[in-house]
């Protein structure tokens, strides 16, 4: 590596160069990689081994997981949302109308109130993720009453996470592209100018934005055309789960519109949490065809959520169904 760097007119700084052994958690356990000593040197100086590092704003982990990076990006994207809200709601105490099962309400620590000083008024969310328009109309409040906040913004989640990734019957920005950031703010010049100011106050202004932009461009060019495959695989998974109703699984096929599959677990001895753990576990006792770790997250009460993406093939879906059936019948 040092010779290649030298011939390529690159200079490696041993004090800043680290080594990382990339593998999966399963292979680490099987081959005991954590305790294996690796001897890598540059200019007779041994390189420090690390489990994670940051490169051009992207946090890399040795287990090939993106949990920490996703958490950082999620925090940044919530900042984008708050920037957007502050742009629309310039006065502290202004009001937004938002669905009672929206991500803003359920999973963001009340950030719009903490950072933007905005009041959230919840409206009823229909089973398909749309807002109850009669409820919206009743709850919109106008200026003039000193006892009430002023309704300035209606927040619509698209696609709707808690409803299984369902979409409104309009054109939409699709999910599942595999790009690290998916937030978009649009508006006129004055609005964008206000948002830029608010974003700066909230800690925005990433210097390595080109890294994220490159991933987004790649996703649009190479992954977006394959989204229909993810949706088709989600249908295969959902129909396979429906066929296991006698084994304690249930799914609403009409709710599967994109790449998310929510299903409930009503097994007499296996809870949804236990099923999630066992799907991710790989043992020597199970059949070879089911020896694959499958990550399915717990969701609402007695429910699990499976998300398909471009790295999940149709064969993976069938193996997932085989593993589900094996666990529920063994």
Q: What is the pLDDT of residue 236?
A: 97
72 and 187 in a single domain? The answer is: yes
Predicted confidence (pLDDT) per residue in 77-123, tens digit = 555 555 666 677 777 778 888 988 888 788 777 777 777 788 889 99
Q: Does 268 score more than 90 pLDDT?
A: yes
The angle subtended at Cα 160 by Cα 114 and Cα 187, nearest 5°, is 65
- The encoded tokens of residue 134 equal 């009669």
Residue 26 within any structural domain of the chain: no
197 and 233 in a single domain? The answer is: no
DSSP-assigned beta bridge partners for residue 61? 52
CA dihedral 273, 181, 116, 130 (to 10 degrees): -60
75 and 148 in a single domain? The answer is: yes
CATH number at residue 259: 3.90.1150.10
Confidence at 196, pLDDT banded by 50, 70, 90: confident
Residue 8 within any structural domain of the chain: no
- What percent of the chain stands above pLDDT 70? 76
104 and 138 in a single domain? The answer is: yes
199 and 251 in a single domain? The answer is: no
Q: Does 173 score more than 60 pLDDT?
A: no
169 and 128 in a single domain? The answer is: yes
Greatest Cα pair distance, the chain, in angstroms, is 75
Higher pLDDT, 70 or 248: 248
* Phi then psi dihedrals of residue 41, to 5 deg: -130, 150
Higher pLDDT, 226 or 7: 226
d(CA 188, CA 190): 6
- The encoded tokens of residue 110 equal 């009340």
Average of per-residue pLDDT across 309-315: 92
The Cβ of residue 214 has, within 10 Å, a number of other Cβ atoms equal to 11
232 and 197 in a single domain? The answer is: no
Give me the number of domains the chain comprises: 2
Q: Is the pTM of this model over 0.85?
A: no
- The encoded tokens of residue 83 equal 């920037």
16-25, 73-82, 230-239, 288-297: range with highest mean pLDDT: 230-239
Q: Domain residues for 165?
A: 62-206
128 and 83 in a single domain? The answer is: yes
- DSSP H stretches of helix in the chain: 2-7, 25-31, 67-88, 103-106, 111-116, 133-139, 189-201, 209-218, 227-242, 272-280, 314-329
CATH number at residue 198: 3.40.640.10
How far, rounded to the nearest angstrom, does the alpha carbon of residue 291 sit from its chain's CA centroid? Answer: 25
Residue 39 within any structural domain of the chain: no
234 and 200 in a single domain? The answer is: no
């Amino acid at each position: 590596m040092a010779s290649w760097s030298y011939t390529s007119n690159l200079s490696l700084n041993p004090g800043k160069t680290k080594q990382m052994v990339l593998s999966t958690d399963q292979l680490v356990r099987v081959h005991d990689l954590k305790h294996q000593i690796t001897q890598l040197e540059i200019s007779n100086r041994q390189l420090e081994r690390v489990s994670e590092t940051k490169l051009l704003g992207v946090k890399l982990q040795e287990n090939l997981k993106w949990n920490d990076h996703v958490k950082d990006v999620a925090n940044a994207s919530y900042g984008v949302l708050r920037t957007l809200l502050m742009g629309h709601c310039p006065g502290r105490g202004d009001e937004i109308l938002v669905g009672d099962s929206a991500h803003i309400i359920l999973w963001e620590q009340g950030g719009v109130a903490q950072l933007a000083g905005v009041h959230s008024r919840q409206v009823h969310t229909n089973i398909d993720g749309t807002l109850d328009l009669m409820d919206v109309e009743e709850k919109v409040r106008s200026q003039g009453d000193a006892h009430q906040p002023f309704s300035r913004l209606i927040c619509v989640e698209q696609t709707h996470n808690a409803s299984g990734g369902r979409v409104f019957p309009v054109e939409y920005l699709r999910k599942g592209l595999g790009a690290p950031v998916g937030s978009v703010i649009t508006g006129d010049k004055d609005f964008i100018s206000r948002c830029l100011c608010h974003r700066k106050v909230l800690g925005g202004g990433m210097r390595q934005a080109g890294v994220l932009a490159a991933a987004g461009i790649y996703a649009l060019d190479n992954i977006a055309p394959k989204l229909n495959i993810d949706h088709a695989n989600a249908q295969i998974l959902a129909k396979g789960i429906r066929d296991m109703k006698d084994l304690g699984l249930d799914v609403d096929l009409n709710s599967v519109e994109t790449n998310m599959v929510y299903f409930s677990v009503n097994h007499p001895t296996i809870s949804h949490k236990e099923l999630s753990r066992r799907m991710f576990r790989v043992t020597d006792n199970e059949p070879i065809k089911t020896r694959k770790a499958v990550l399915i997250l717990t969701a609402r009460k007695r429910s699990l959520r499976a998300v398909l993406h471009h790295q999940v093939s149709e064969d993976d879906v069938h193996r997932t169904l085989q593993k589900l059936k094996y666990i529920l019948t063994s």
